[in-house]
Structure 1
Amino acid sequence: MSKDADFFNFSLSNILSTEQSILDKARIRLLYYGLWIVMVVVAGLFLSVYFQHLEFLTVTAAIVFFCVVCLFKYLTYKPEWRVISHALLIIATLINLSNVFITIQKVDIITIQVILLVLLFSYYMLGQRAGLGYSLLNIIPVLAFYVLNYNQSYFIPLRPEELDQSTIIISMFANFIIIIYIHSHFYSAFLKNIKELKQTSEDQAVLNAKLELTISKAEKSSQVKSEFLATMSHEIRTPLNAIIGMSNLMIMANPRPDQKENLNVLKSSANNLQSIVNDVLDFNKIEAGKVIFETVKFNFVDLMQNICGAQKLKAEEKGLSFTLKIDPVLQKRVLFGDPTRLTQILFNLVSNAIKFTREGSIYVKAFCYEDRNNKLRITFTVKDTGIGIDKNNLQSIFEPFTQESITTTRQYGGTGMGLAIVKRLLELQGLHMHVSSKVGEGSEFSFNMEFQVSNANINEVGDKHPLLQNTDSLSNLRILIAEDNPVNVLLMKKLLSKWKIAPTIAENGQKAIETFQNGDFDIILMDLQMPVMNGFDASMGIRKLPNPKKANVPIIALTAAALLDIEEQVLNAGMNDYVSKPFKPEELMEKIQNLVFADAGHSVA
């Protein structure tokens, strides 16, 4: 109902609203103007029968006039057209049947017109079911009267009233006017409805076309973004690989204390740049749904100490006290979970705590609040006495590329990706981050995570591969390196020389296949992006070689790319594993040894 309609309203515009459909508006208009017509007609009939002294018809006309006035007033107060339509049809049916059986006691043209009016009005206003009901309610009794009258078996002790010709003419004329009005009104309404439906359909088609174009642009934009990230990752990681690699080599060469200090600064800066690149790429990977959570055994206490070890040094450099507290229940526990993602979450939280704390302390706690059915539920808490966060900004800090304010970004630096990555990684596991903070006093981040308990001995987990303790076994290892970048070639040669390995170099994939076929190698380190033939095609070519021994040689991909499905592509190309540039020397060594010495019966010539 319109807010402008009240008991004293008589305006049609006040009972029409934009929420009403075209047909509903048409029904309300029909009732509004139709009731006016009926009031005029009934008033004229009342005067006609009154002067003819037809008492029953006079009373009937007066009652009908009163009812129509009341229904009109109800319509202008509450436009409940269904209720009013039913009321009008019931009145018309009662009048029609009373005229046939009592007042006039015959079926004339007026009766037929009233039946037609009821039929049209009921179908247009209330639909098929109501239209059929009201039609049968009028037609069946009239037909029954016809039969009774034909057999001369209908008789009541009331004398029928006779209408003069003027009353019949008024009734016929009024009925024709109403029939024409109903037809004309709904015909125009239906045409308008059809036109609007057609226009809506055309508009929908235009919108669908625009939507398809937008989706296509979004997909293309996403693809371009991924390709851009892959390219930029390769372009940034390639020099980073050389910087970090050379820094490692120079530090391994026992430099003077002042040189070592300079090298550590250089390495730290390169690692910070690598961390920023990794944040962006990790978030892109998470958003694309390419994150897979592992379930492996790990020593919980060792993991926590490894995460916090380097961070503790960073905190102490700023003059902050650093406390790591682990629940005694968790001591000497081997758990199943994803240590890599847990490390990523805690590392980001602790790094943020240190970054935004000028003085005071950093507190990291792992507390077991539930231990049953070989499952542990652990609460992780990272608390600081830093700058704190305004309560209005608690949600925005978890958005990507966002920090609490521009001032914060300028003063403390960073990409604003850390907490966004933390939030997404937790959400992907069905977990939530709880934050409490006061400006100027500090912040506390906490979350709960469930782990399956392993029955493995604590000494069996976390030990390095026994071969990693003795690199002398690598001295006779025959390695083929497919790499086109001269700096990376120099780096790999210097790094492998530390392990007394003299590698063979191939500058592209095609050359790698030819060199491999003409030589005897234990493992291949394959760059992915090379001229002539890339690493994927080269690996697939090697796997198709007729010699089974050569075809099954271990291949490790070396990649600086940021492809979201890099692991899947590497495995599909037949490679055994991959290492992302810049890599840690010990990581590459471990992978080489695991693959070369995986078969206990395999020996290095």
Structure 2
Amino acid sequence: MITLSKKIEGFIGKMVSRETDPINQARVRMLFYLLVAYAVFGLTLMFAYFYNYQFLKLIRASTIFFFSSLFIVFMYYANVWRALSHAVLILMTLLGAWGNLLIFVHGINAATLQYIWMASALGFFMKGPRWGWFYSTLNSLPVIIDVAFTDKDYFLLKVAPEVVVKPVYVYVLLFDFFLITFLHYFFFKAYSKNINNLTQTKNELKETNLKLNDTIQSVNELSNARMEFLSTMSHELRTPLNGVIGLTNALIAQSPRKDQEETLSVLRFSAENLLHLINDILDLNKLDSEKMELEYVPFNLNQLIKNIYASIKIKAVEKHIDIQLHLPEELHDKYLYGDPTRLTQVLLNLLNNAIKFTEKGIVSISCEILNQTNDKVKIRFLVEDTGIGIEENQQEKVFEAFVQASPSISRHYGGTGLGLSIVKKVLALYNTTITLESKPSEGTRLTFDIEFPYTTVLLVPSYILPEAVLTGLSNLKVLVVEDNAVNVLVMKKTLEQQNIKPDIAENGKIALDKVTSNNYDIVFMDLFMPEMDGYETTKKIRELADKTKSSVPIIALTATVNDKVINEVLSVGMDGYIAKPFRPEDLFGQLRKVMGR
């Protein structure tokens, strides 16, 4: 019995599986069960009517059996249940209500009413409201006609009704009642099941959303913790690096022997590489958390790229690679508005990669103007090399964080795989994308387009004077507020290059006393110190009654550089900041601004 049930379910399952809507699946099952019932019903009536010599009803029973069997075959081999449901309803209408009125009964009896109810219910269940009304109306007409017309000869066919055999009539009534009940039960059961499934799905979805909200909150907390950790680690790593790079620069400036100079250069190169890696990780973290915004300042693109070219040329020469630069003359007098720092970061990443993965040949950087209006210019940047190239199936992956084209490349060339990921994310802030064309052993071509607002007239602040004019830095009176002995030594050694002997304050409280007692031209202020931090010290200096002392330029010295710190630095009244580790030119640039004033 169980085996037979499985076979029947497998037979029905093939037809049901063609539908994804639960209601339509229920309709397929209902139609199949109905056809099977009518096939059995028609077959039994054929024997009964043949035995009682009721040939008209035998024809109807044979028709029911034939079409029910045929429709079952059609349903199994083709997904035509929608058309078959119409056919079944039409046959029920013709052979049921209308057949009884015109041929078999010449009126309306209990069986006729059953046919009407059955066809009406099936019309709504199988075909929906519109067809349900149509078939209900079509099957109700015989009742209206029978009641409305008293002279039945007016519409009846000239066929005498057959004698009703009571056992057969009882069988027909019982079958019709059963079928009507079954249709309502089956469809209501399918409907209830669907509603329960929807309710269960809704509850599961609600529960999933609650879990998702909890997960999002946990992820946000984890992300904030990661940001805090990276910020702390950045400060802790930058502080010793400031000592290494600063003292290395100071030693190089003291005219060391040739062998010492080579050693110091390697030391500075290694420290700066480590600093570059730290900056990349922090930048990637900011980009991932969508906390990075582009600046909007004027800059000269020609000069910017020439500076990038000059800084990168040393690496190319060391590898005996020819590095080329091509810039359009039209950009010479244009000042673009954008973020020169981020653009430099993008180009340096691309050029560093090009040089790293090129053993011989050429690396080139070029720009061309694609489109220009009175106030905007669209520029295409192009970096090409004749290096190892990238396999086509790896070209998308190289823009993912911590991913390189293959493990062998990582082992041979080193690196973290952060560069191109940062490039992609920074360019997304410019609403542009990078295009990569590459062939293994032939080289790589990278292009991207950016549209900049521009001007040809730039007002330069009066305090930014030509370097040749700025002399006498040694006359400046400088206060360094710093609690770290290594950083103090770095500041002293760096300022001594310009014959400046700074005053030192180990904390903010001492610094406030010194500023109150002396007139300084500039104060370099560390942010995190015992007794009184840099923020509080700056506030108190700005509150001094002596306007000369209270307006002294204060430059923050910080190993933690992010938007929050920068905003806090400016909000308490500082004039700018220098990130540790700093380059000597960064420090001297601030001194030149003071001289310019």
TM range (shorter): 0.7 to 0.9
| 2:249 corresponds to 1:248 | yes
1:4 corresponds to which residue? none
Q: Deviations over 1:128-178 (max 9, x none)?
A: 4433443333235523532434x9896546355143323321210110221
2:415 corresponds to which residue? 414
1:287 corresponds to which residue? 288
In 2, are the aligned partners of 1:478 and 1:520 still within 8 Å (CA)?
A: no
* Equivalences for residues 199-218 of structure 1 within 5 A: 199-218=200-219
**Percent identity over paired residues:** 36
Shift of 1:332: 4.5
Specify the code of the residue in structure 1 equivalent to 2:63: I
1:225 corresponds to which residue? 226
Q: Which moved further from structure 2: 174-183 or 287-296?
A: 287-296
Change (3 A) 1:437 1:501: same
Change (3 A) 1:541 1:91: farther
1:97 and 1:548 mapped to 2: Cα distance? Answer: 108
Specify the code of the residue in structure 1 equivalent to 2:250: L
* Equivalences for residues 265-344 of structure 1 within 5 A: 265-344=266-345
Shift of 1:307: 0.7
Change (3 A) 1:13 1:521: same
Secondary structure in structure 1 of the residue aligned to 2:326: strand
Secondary structure in structure 2 of the residue aligned to 1:166: helix
Specify the code of the residue in structure 1 equivalent to 2:86: H
1:552 and 1:95 mapped to 2: Cα distance? Answer: 105
1:557 and 1:461 mapped to 2: Cα distance? Answer: 21
2:382 corresponds to which residue? 381
Secondary structure in structure 2 of the residue aligned to 1:12: helix
Shift of 1:248: 2.6
1:44 corresponds to which residue? 44
Shift of 1:581: 1.0
2:552 and 2:55 mapped to 1: Cα distance? Answer: 114
1:159 and 1:321 mapped to 2: Cα distance? Answer: 108
1:579 corresponds to which residue? 578
2:462 and 2:350 mapped to 1: Cα distance? Answer: 24
In 1, are the aligned partners of 2:293 and 2:429 still within 8 Å (CA)?
A: no
1:254 and 1:10 mapped to 2: Cα distance? Answer: 91
Change (3 A) 1:576 1:123: farther
1:360 corresponds to which residue? 361
Secondary structure in structure 1 of the residue aligned to 2:182: helix
Structure 1 unaligned regions, length at least 5: 1-8, 601-605
1:350 and 1:206 mapped to 2: Cα distance? Answer: 50
2:63 corresponds to which residue? 63
1:130 and 1:542 mapped to 2: Cα distance? Answer: 87
Secondary structure in structure 2 of the residue aligned to 1:43: helix
2:3 corresponds to which residue? none
Shift of 1:330: 3.8
1:102 and 1:589 mapped to 2: Cα distance? Answer: 112
2:350 corresponds to which residue? 349
Shift of 1:418: 1.6
Specify the code of the residue in structure 2 equivalent to 1:252: A
Q: Which moved further from structure 2: 533-542 or 137-146?
A: 533-542
Q: Which moved further from structure 2: 425-434 or 551-560?
A: 551-560
Change (3 A) 1:541 1:169: farther
Change (3 A) 1:135 1:230: same
TM-score where L is the length of structure 1: 0.84
2:243 and 2:10 mapped to 1: Cα distance? Answer: 86
1:546 and 1:119 mapped to 2: Cα distance? Answer: 97
1:430 corresponds to which residue? 431
Shift of 1:485: 2.0
In 1, are the aligned partners of 2:436 and 2:445 still within 8 Å (CA)?
A: yes
1:528 corresponds to which residue? 527
Specify the code of the residue in structure 1 equivalent to 2:318: E
* Equivalences for residues 535-574 of structure 1 within 5 A: 535-536=534-535, 554-563=553-562, 565-574=564-573
Specify the code of the residue in structure 2 equivalent to 1:492: M
In 1, are the aligned partners of 2:476 and 2:521 still within 8 Å (CA)?
A: no
Shift of 1:382: 2.4
1:82 corresponds to which residue? 82
Q: Deviations over 1:239-279 (max 9, x none)?
A: 11112222233333444444444333322222121111112
1:73 corresponds to which residue? 73
Shift of 1:376: 3.9
Shift of 1:336: 3.7
Shift of 1:518: 7.5
1:575 and 1:82 mapped to 2: Cα distance? Answer: 79
Count of residue pairs the alignment pairs up: 586
In 1, are the aligned partners of 2:561 and 2:579 still within 8 Å (CA)?
A: no
1:492 corresponds to which residue? 491
Change (3 A) 1:442 1:127: same
1:47 and 1:232 mapped to 2: Cα distance? Answer: 94
In 1, are the aligned partners of 2:101 and 2:142 still within 8 Å (CA)?
A: no
Secondary structure in structure 2 of the residue aligned to 1:444: strand
In 2, are the aligned partners of 1:471 and 1:499 still within 8 Å (CA)?
A: no
* Equivalences for residues 62-141 of structure 1 within 5 A: 62-103=62-103, 104-139=105-140, 141=142
1:29 corresponds to which residue? 29
Shift of 1:60: 3.5
Change (3 A) 1:18 1:428: farther
| 2:179 corresponds to 1:174 | no
Shift of 1:584: 2.2
Shift of 1:394: 1.9
Shift of 1:334: 4.0
Secondary structure in structure 2 of the residue aligned to 1:358: coil
Secondary structure in structure 1 of the residue aligned to 2:472: helix
In 2, are the aligned partners of 1:512 and 1:538 still within 8 Å (CA)?
A: yes
Shift of 1:547: 8.7
Specify the code of the residue in structure 1 equivalent to 2:73: K
Change (3 A) 1:555 1:143: farther
2:548 and 2:108 mapped to 1: Cα distance? Answer: 107
Specify the code of the residue in structure 1 equivalent to 2:35: L
| 2:587 corresponds to 1:588 | yes
Q: Deviations over 1:295-333 (max 9, x none)?
A: 433333322221111221221122222222323444454
1:502 and 1:256 mapped to 2: Cα distance? Answer: 28
Q: Deviations over 1:76-116 (max 9, x none)?
A: 12244333222222222233341354122322211221222
1:467 and 1:111 mapped to 2: Cα distance? Answer: 110
Secondary structure in structure 2 of the residue aligned to 1:378: strand
Specify the code of the residue in structure 2 equivalent to 1:278: N
Shift of 1:386: 2.4
In 2, are the aligned partners of 1:379 and 1:449 still within 8 Å (CA)?
A: yes
Specify the code of the residue in structure 2 equivalent to 1:579: I
Specify the code of the residue in structure 2 equivalent to 1:212: N
In 2, are the aligned partners of 1:279 and 1:417 still within 8 Å (CA)?
A: yes
Change (3 A) 1:111 1:77: same
Change (3 A) 1:531 1:71: farther
Secondary structure in structure 1 of the residue aligned to 2:402: coil
Change (3 A) 1:467 1:302: closer
Change (3 A) 1:135 1:518: farther
Specify the code of the residue in structure 1 equivalent to 2:560: A
Change (3 A) 1:282 1:490: same
Q: Deviations over 1:45-68 (max 9, x none)?
A: 344445555554444433333332
